[in-house]
Amino acid sequence: MSPLTLLTTLSSRDKQSILSIATDHEAGHVFGGSQSGDIHVWSLHTYFPVTRLVGHQTSVLCLLISLERSLLFSSSGDTTVRVWDTRCFGNALCIIKPPIDSCGDVLSLAWCNRMDTLYLGFQDASIQWIHLPPSKTGCTARVTVTEDDSSAQLTSELTRTNSIPLSHDKCPVESALVRSNSSNCSSARLSTRSATSHPQNIPCYPFGRSQHHKFFDSLSQADLLKALRRGEISYSNSSYSHSHLSIGSPPTLRELQDSTSSSGSNYREDGIKVLFIEQENSVTYAHFGYIYCLLFVHLEDRPVLVSGSGDSTIKVWMIDSNSGALKLPAKQLNSSSSILSTTPVTNQSCEELGAALTLAARGSTLYSGYQDGLIKIWDLETFTCIRTLFHRDSHKTSEKCLKNLTDVLTMTVLDNGDMFSGCSGGLVIRWNSSFQRVLKWKAHQGSTMASLSAMHQGRRLVLTGGSDNAIKIWGVYGMPESDFETAIANSESKDQPVMAFQGNELMFRHLSQLVSYPSISSEDHREDCRQAALYLKKTLIKLGADTRLLPGKPGRNPLVLATFTGKSSVSSPTVLPKRRVLYYGHYDVVQPGNPKDWKTPAFDMSGKNGWLYGRGVSDNKGPTLAVAFAISTLLDQRSLDVDVVMLVEGEEETGSMGFHRAVQENKALIGEIDVILVSNSSWLGDETPCMTFGLRGVIHATVKVTSPQPDLHSGMHGGVVHEPVMDLVRVLSSLVDSSGQIQMEGFYDGVKPICEVENELYDRIVEHLQATENSDFLRHSSLHDIRQNLLAKWRQPALSLHKVDVTGPAHSTVIPSSAQASVSIRIVPNQKMSQITSSFIQFLEKSFQSLNSGNALQIELNQTTDWWLGDPKDPYSKAIDESIEEEWGVKPLWIREGGSIPSIPFLENEFEAKAVHFPMGSATDAAHLPNERIRMLNLEKGSNVVAKFLKKVSQVKNS
């Protein structure tokens, strides 16, 4: 069985272990209980942080969701349970406390929706319950404490405006009951059972208590058992109260204003109502150990409560249908019958069980996970153990190494019978419905503390939480690629969510593989680039394209040409002639730089909080695959009414060497083109989508001054020769005046004046930046007026000096025999490239002649790229503008860029077609920098925008 697809990793800023998790698939939220006491909330749509819920003083040990009541229950080491409204993140609706303060941690929870009753498993071995009528679930104000992250702000806005479609399957979500052992998971210690089956004293407090508990001055579990056997106390006597826990004076019972009400009292704590559990709503010493796990199952349509404890026992409790009280005695599951083991048996007896740490169920089958790596499978119809599984391979690891690394802390069962178990060593094992181990992998660095299964937008997910401050989301039912087209063809609805997700999951899987190729456009990585091109070719063939490689310049990287053929319009003469769209992209990337600057390996794509990280995810492998999958989706849905040609080169980062010639030689293969689509830049910020309608051109040149003399000593020849460096400085300084104006004659004459339409576009941009991101936008600028800043870098020419090199040793006494400088000139509409280059050369030559130097001047034009200007008002631009607004719910900002893309003006001229430039990346993507990233949401929605655009292109009439 292939490994699960890791969709993303969620992490919080507090760097604390995630001890418990829950999901609300209807609202699209993931909740993570932290060791710090906070509950972090992420969006299940975008994987962005949304907010965090604060209130608990210590670790959040268990989270539980009631979808019917829109409630989140959280238990903690502070002896409380807090109840939250999942519809509006505010302060807790109420705080639930036991009747006495010596109960210890609330380790586990179970909710019976039929009886509106919450059951709590305590550290003092008691199970308590409280009735919570619907009248107690009023909504509070939104919490003001949020993650300090721009993506969190975006997600909050998206959630409030409902701009993200909330399409979900209606199925229950299993909430994980975390069983954590210590603040340091690697050194966790739990109660165990001796060879004589006597429960022993649990030696340490699991999470480190922040306040004194009278419970910790009470009898140990072993002493308590001895007292029971001597008859000093009676376990079956329900009148035995918590006051017997303390050797000294009994703890004082809190004064309740209404001892007969299930709601406890009107007492408030920090303005939040506190509900006290009634003293009689408790089974004292339900076990002889901590109540690590509680679980509701239905037997013959009756809810029963199952509990697991540090005393190694599993008990099944019948429930009074009227009061919700637990009925005594409980049925204790017994595994003394013969056991069939489906995994290697160790020297340890199956009866030498450690603490029962976690429970899961499917129908009448119960799964219990234990300390030291055992899992027992129970038939609740007959109350017998039918299997024992081992979470480890005993022959591979010594018993000493296994200590504290194999405790089964969490289990999750899927609807098909597959079960996932996670242990304190970070491993997760997948078992099939026949209880056979089919997959094992390292899910977390540290312990796998919690897990659950959820359906979201038609996809089955497994979430795992760990001590490495991470919740990882895994795609379970990853569809084989061979079945992908068949599944789409058999779909009842073209917009079926499951198909949309499977396409995205497949897209991210292919992107991960494509990123793994270090396709750096340099001689050292020529073979890596070829392999990346071959993989892209293979992928596009699978997506339905007629694909081939085109040779580039000799010794350079090939191009990938793929043609997706749309439906023919011949059969319907009234239909507009079929349009042909050319997409231009590139698969080569820049050097990653110092690996130490990357948080994760540059060519190993990873996900975190809704972002994908890796070299090329934003520039330009991610957008290229998003376009390809948009086309393929339309093709599979028989909705592709245009032909789409994808032309993906491998030399863009080094000036597109050989690209022009390759296109011209294969123009017949490419065919006639109506519109060119490009996605190769970024937005102005992180929140509002943009369209690029202008790029500056660039002239790259090298200016060199050479002396006929060799390198000289400044002490012997300084002042008597024309020094090349001095000549170079004088020549370059003459290019601009003291205000930065370029001095070439007529240089600014061709600059196109700003028109009214463009002015209106700038007005909206300025308004947007003033309201949101202007401080960051102006960070590196000496121009503090936003409009002037935009005009200067988008539509005004500029000259830059990049570096100066000299020959000879780098010594302060040497006069170099030659010096050279790299210079670039950014040009704008409607400057003429030929005129500017000619004027540049003539100006430098004239300036050098005025020096009367005996040195020689050499000017080399390394690369030239013309400017590009689109038209926001043409039909194709309007089509993509409408597509963006339909997908994102906001009109895009129309922006220009100060950089250059050589191929766009060339392709426009070659095919006599207009280009539209739709960027998918956001401003903080860090393209060309360490930790390059892109939001998964941007790729998903970007792909949807392209699909909508292609549909609209088929309806564009000839102008």
The candidate with the shortest Cα–Cα distance to 119, out of 521, 924, 128, 538, is: 128
CATH 3.40.630.10 correct for 485-695+869-953: yes
Question: Counting beta carbons within 10 angstroms of the beta carbon of residue 48, is it exposed (0 to 12), middle (13 to 18) or buried (19 or more)?
Answer: buried
Query: What is the phi/psi pair of residue 75, to 5°?
Result: -115, 155
pLDDT digits (tens, 9 = 90+) for 370-388: 998 999 999 999 999 999 9
Q: pLDDT grade, residue 257 (50/70/90)?
A: very low
Whether pLDDT at 761 is above 70: yes
Whole-number Å distance between alpha carbons of 74 and 39:
9
The per-residue pLDDT for 133 is 84
Bond from prior residue into 201 cis (ω within 30 degrees of 0): no
For the stretch 768-808, pLDDT in tens is 888 875 555 555 555 668 888 899 989 999 999 999 999 87
- The predicted-structure confidence for 17-68, as pLDDT tens digits, reads as follows 999 999 998 899 999 999 999 999 999 988 999 999 999 999 999 999 999 9
Q: What is the pLDDT of residue 266?
A: 59
How do residues 517-572 score in pLDDT, each as one tens digit?
Answer: 999 999 999 999 999 999 999 999 999 999 999 999 999 999 999 999 998 654 44
User: For the chain, what is the largest distance between any 2 Cα atoms, rounded to a whole number of angstroms?
Assistant: 116
Q: How far apart are CA 324 and CA 304, in angstroms?
A: 10
pLDDT at position 196, please? 30
Spatial separation of the C-alpha atoms in residues 414 and 417, rounded to whole Å: 5
Q: What is the pLDDT of residue 185?
A: 33
State the pLDDT at residue 771. 80
Q: Are 518 and 546 in contact (CB under 8 A)?
A: no
Q: Which two tokens stand for residue 1?
A: 């069985």
Which pair of tokens denotes residue 673? 């083109």
Q: Is the pLDDT of residue 161 over 50?
A: no
According to the model, what pLDDT value does residue 775 have? Answer: 52
Report the alpha-carbon distance of residue 380 to residue 297 in Å, rounded.
9
Q: Which residues are catalytic?
A: 588, 652
- Domain 697-752+795-855 listed as CATH 3.30.70.360: yes
Of the candidates 669, 639, 632, 440, the one whose C-alpha atom is nearest the C-alpha of residue 540 is 632
Find residue 131's DSSP bridge partners.
Answer: 117
* CA gap 728, 823 in Å, rounded: 12
Would you state the structure tokens that stand for residue 109, as one six-digit string?
């929870």
pLDDT digits (tens, 9 = 90+) for 837-888: 999 999 999 999 999 999 999 999 999 999 999 999 999 999 999 999 999 9
- The amino acid at 117: T
Question: Whole-angstrom Cα distance, residue 228 to residue 754?
Answer: 92
Q: What mean pLDDT comes out for the span 753-763? A: 92
The helix-helix angle for 497-515 and 526-542 (nearest 10°) equals 160
Residues 407-453: tens digit of each pLDDT: 999 999 999 999 999 999 999 999 999 999 999 999 999 999 999 99
What is the rounded average pLDDT of the residues 165-181? 32
| 347 pLDDT higher than 70 | no
Instruction: Tell me what pLDDT residue 334 has.
Output: 79
Q: Judging by beta carbons within 10 Å of its beta carbon (0-12, 13-18, 19+), is residue 494 exposed, middle or buried?
A: middle
All structural domains of the chain with their residue ranges: 5-184+269-478, 485-695+869-953, 697-752+795-855
How is residue 706 annotated by DSSP? E
Compute how many other C-beta atoms are within 10 angstroms of the C-beta atom of residue 362.
Answer: 17
341: three-class secondary structure by DSSP: strand
C-alpha span between 410 and 356 (Å, rounded): 11
Output 473 or 957, whichever has higher pLDDT.
Answer: 473
Three-class secondary structure of residue 207 per DSSP: coil
Query: Is residue 668 pLDDT above 80, yes or no?
Result: yes
79: left (phi over 0), alpha (psi -120 to 50) or beta: left
Domain range 5-184+269-478, CATH architecture:
7 Propeller (2.130)
The pLDDT of residue 763 is: 92
DSSP-derived secondary structure for 382-408: TTEEEEEEESS-TTTS-HHHHTTT--E
**Amino acid identity for residue 927 in this structure:** A
Q: Extract the tokens encoding 248.
A: 């000294």
Q: How confident is the model at residue 504 (pLDDT cuts 50, 70, 90)?
A: confident
Residue 792, judged by CB atoms within 10 A of its CB (0-12, 13-18, 19+), counts as: middle
For the chain, what is the mean pLDDT? 82
